[in-house]
Amino acid sequence: SAELPDILADGFAADPYSAYQVLREKAPLYWHEGTQSYVISRYEDVARAFREPVFTTANYDWQLEPVHGRTILQLSGREHAVRRGLVAPAFRGDELREKFLPVIERNARTLIDGFRTAGKVELVGQFSAHFPINVIVDMLGLDQADHARFQRWYTSIIAFLGNLAQDPDVAEAGLRTREELAAYMLPIIARRREEPGDDLLSRLCLAEIDGTRMSDEDIKAFVSLLLAAGGETTDKAVSALFANLLAHPDQLAAVRRDRDLIPRAFAETLRYSPPVHMIMRQPDEDVAVTGGTIPAGSTVTCLIGAANRDPERYRDPERFDIFRDDLTTTSAFSAAADHLAFALGRHFCVGALLAKTEIEVGTNMLLDAMPDVRLAEGADPVERGVFTRGPAHLPLEFTPPG
Ligand code: HEM
């Protein structure tokens, strides 16, 4: 209807949260012309869309296939379960901590060393945009000298996926990246099959369930997905966590004093400012949700940013509060949480524990390097983005430790 906010209109991105409130209250189910989809915004409905198998991800295919090939995100049912079973063990607790903690620490240290004595840093451009990509490249056991090249590929994949205006140059660069990544990865995958090492790529090559293995092309597509799914999200989570703490100095001081609060700050950041705001589903039967029925085969847009601030689920939801007692935080060995930033159910983020570990390690080291961190003089951090969202820039100042 005409009075309802348009989730793609210019003004929406400036303040999606007030639009979400209107949608949750007045139109928990509505048809949106721009995305040709049914939009849902209440916690209960979005959680159901993630949990119930009737909601598939089949409609991702047209979007993701051209740049990645076929990834687990596009698969449903048994095919998804098998493929996910092949990759998921490498991202679980013990393994992650033993093998990859040093990789995460080394990459955080290298980036922080780049500005440690400068007394200032633009956190997005100098830290958070690089950190997760460098970690993935090193976990895969690829050449660390190629960090910059992967950063370029990652940037063009993200631009391709967010190319709403259908800029032909952006589209072309994305397709070229698919070719370049394949030309780079396929020979390396072939070598790892012959001579596996102790890295993530070798594990993916060897993984087997009931005689099923991934093809070289499947593995290359998964690497491409890791860059997109693990890069932009973690980038935005790191910078949003700092933006949120800087906006709440008492909570920043508490976290600085007691680093065991970092997992709470992370979970509350993901609730309050999730990196992924919208994801799509396609029900393969008619399904009833609050406000009506979604017809089989149609596209559903799930508003994570709206669901995470549903007052039916969280008390005083518009307040950032790491001490809230109605948010389940994660344990050391799992990233399970009840906010919806990692989705739920079958497609629950494979990298959630990795992201959590990266952010805990990174935040600790950043707080140590910047004992009196503050926003740079005159800085006014704004969030940008509609499908994914986070601080565009975060210029910080600090007194370098003596
Ligand atoms: C899936 C969010 C970090 C790898 C997802 C999904 C969300 C998400 C919402 C579900 C997408 C859907 O169902 O449509 C996040 C956030 C992160 C993060 C907020 C950081 C704070 C990572 C990292 C990796 C990763 C670090 C790996 C390097 C994946 C993969 C999937 C996925 C492979 C697909 C799972 C499947 O289809 O079964 N993530 N992610 N993510 N994520 Fe993450």
C-beta of 39 in contact with ligand 1 (< 6 A): no
Q: Of ligand 1's atoms, which has the minimum distance to the CA of residue 132?
A: 26
* Centroid of ligand 1 to alpha carbon of 132 (angstroms): 13
Task: Look up the pTM and report it.
Answer: 0.96
Q: Does the predicted interface ipTM exceed a cut of 0.90?
A: yes
* Centroid of ligand 1 to alpha carbon of 335 (angstroms): 12
What pLDDT does residue 337 have?
73
Could you tell me if residue 258 is inside a domain?
yes
Could you tell me if residue 89 is inside a domain?
yes
Could you tell me if residue 253 is inside a domain?
yes
Q: Of ligand 1's atoms, which has the minimum distance to the CA of residue 281?
A: 14
C-beta of 47 in contact with ligand 1 (< 6 A): no
pLDDT digit string, tens, across residues 332-370: 556 667 899 999 999 999 999 999 999 999 999 999 999
CA-nearest residue, atom 32 of ligand 1: 349
Q: Of ligand 1's atoms, which has the minimum distance to the CA of residue 72?
A: 37
* Residue to substitute in 107, 133, 135, 233 for testing ligand 1 pocket (most ligand atoms within 8 angstroms of CB): 233
What average pLDDT does the chain have? 94
Give the rounded percent of residues in the chain with a pLDDT score beyond 70.
Answer: 98
Tokens of 19: 């639009």
Q: Of ligand 1's atoms, which has the minimum distance to the CA of residue 84?
A: 38
* Centroid of ligand 1 to alpha carbon of 231 (angstroms): 10
d(CA 229, CA 126): 20
CB 346 within 8 A of CB 279: no
CA-nearest residue, atom 1 of ligand 1: 349
**What stretches of 257-358 adopt beta strand conformation (E)?**
278-283, 287-289, 292-294, 300-303
Total number of domains constituting the chain: 1
Residue 11: pLDDT over 90: no
pLDDT digit string, tens, across residues 162-188: 888 889 999 999 999 999 999 999 999
Tokens of 84: 């996910």
C-beta of 275 in contact with ligand 1 (< 6 A): yes
pLDDT digit string, tens, across residues 52-84: 999 999 888 888 999 999 999 999 999 999 999
Tokens of 401: 């430790």
Could you tell me if residue 400 is inside a domain?
no
What are the distances in angstroms from CA 244 to CA 249, 382, 383? 9, 11, 11
Position 241 confidence tier, pLDDT thresholds 50, 70, 90: very high
* Centroid of ligand 1 to alpha carbon of 371 (angstroms): 32
Domain span at residue 269?
12-369+385-393
| CATH code for the domain of 152 | 1.10.630.10
Q: Of ligand 1's atoms, which has the minimum distance to the CA of residue 91?
A: 27
